Amino acid sequence: MSLWWLSLYIVEALCAFGVVLNAVLYLMHVMSYLYAKIHMNRKPPELMKAELQGVSILKPLKGVDPNLEENLESYFEVDYPEYEIIFCIQDEDDPANEVCKRVMAKHPTIPAQIVGGGKKVGCNPKVNNLMQGYNIMKYNLFWICDAGIRVLPMTLRDHVHKMTDKVALVHAVPYTAHRKGFSSAVEKIYFGTQHARVYINAHMAGIICMTGMSTLIRRDVFDKCTGGLGNLSQYIAEDYFMAKCLSDNGWKCALSSYPALQNSGNYSVRGFVKRMARWTKLRIAMVPFAVLLEPFSECFLAGLLLAMSLHHFLSWNMLVVFLYHVLGWFIADYMFFRALENGHLQISKRDFLVAWFIRETLTPYVIFSALWDPTITWQNSRYRLRCGGRAEEVPSIV
């Protein structure tokens, strides 16, 4: 009899969890949509009148991507009065050197230089690559932007405008530029629906959730809180720990109105899955309890849980509930996607539907892949993550 009552309590608790979870998830849909409509891609009048400071732009580069020159050139075209660009390249023989020189020659009036031979201070290759530029930059505000990011003319001005007295770091919602091909649509829809929804809601709730694709930082505060960029080289997810160190010391992180437009010329569904698996491994190491709930935030699993819950409490048909849930989720994602696109969709409704469905069904495989092999492959090196996010390089086996 006691086992029967225990099983009944478990079912009741699981069904109650399903109802509460879905209520929270739909609230997140509403909040992210409203935030995107009100704050994203906006240029307030005071933006052009704001007091501006000099900015050092640090660009970590390794190898040549088909869109690299286009991406680099966008930094020479930003609408900002005083800035310098420092290209950080580890190897002097890297072909990225020639691309940088070619772009610099087109814009001789913009202060720019190439620094090579990055300093190895830890296992994180990005931090190692940035150290030489970090040591010679001349402005207190520095902006780290990944090689695959293309910026809009107002992006830097908006970042600096968000850097108020209580803010020490400004980051951007990861998104993608429009590129040809179906695999690009899958990636764009992921960053324009599930990822952006979680990212924006975490920001509104004051939860640390950021990527270092486009990050503006106060150096004086940053050095005081972290001891310098080199001290973050023990982590693969150095961007998360940047924000955490600043937040632990009472500083705020702000979100830019302009997203970080990923514009890599190398993309595929397989590459997207590998990238998502790598990010999942990082989250497992840093916030394991949150990762346990992560699968339930996806459409299909949340829908199954809701259908079971409403069938248990109200005897509603599970199939009907599930189908209505999927339809409602799809419509909410589409509206949010349109808001992030500023109403100008560059993919067809059919492509959106197919890519959305494929992206949703890939989630279980991504999570399984992350759990199956916990090591991380990044820039031709392999790393093992320890609890808390610290990493150690795994020696290559010849």
CA triplet 281, 284, 290: central angle to 5 degrees?
135
Residue 239 known to be catalytic: yes
364 Cβ partners below 8 Å, 6+ apart? 295
Minimal CA–CA distance to 360: which of 319, 282, 300?
Answer: 300
Q: CA 338, 339, 343, 346 torsion: positive or negative? A: negative
User: Helices (DSSP H) in the chain: which residue ranges?
Assistant: 2-39, 68-75, 96-106, 125-136, 155-162, 182-192, 194-205, 219-226, 238-248, 269-286, 288-293, 299-314, 318-340, 349-372
Q: Which residues pair with 361 in a beta bridge?
A: none
d(CA 198, CA 284): 16
- Specify the residue for token string 């960029």: 229
CA contacts within 13 A on the Cβ side of 268: 4
Q: Which token pair is 253?
A: 């992180």
Query: Could you write out the DSSP letters of every residue in 3-60?
Result: HHHHHHHHHHHHHHHHHHHHHHHHHHHHHHHHHHHHHTT---GGGGGS----EEEEEE
Q: Which of 65, 146, 158, 239 is catalytic?
A: 239
Minimal CA–CA distance to 150: which of 65, 74, 77?
Answer: 74
DSSP state of 350: H
Contact 213, 168 (CB under 8 A): no
Catalytic positions are 239
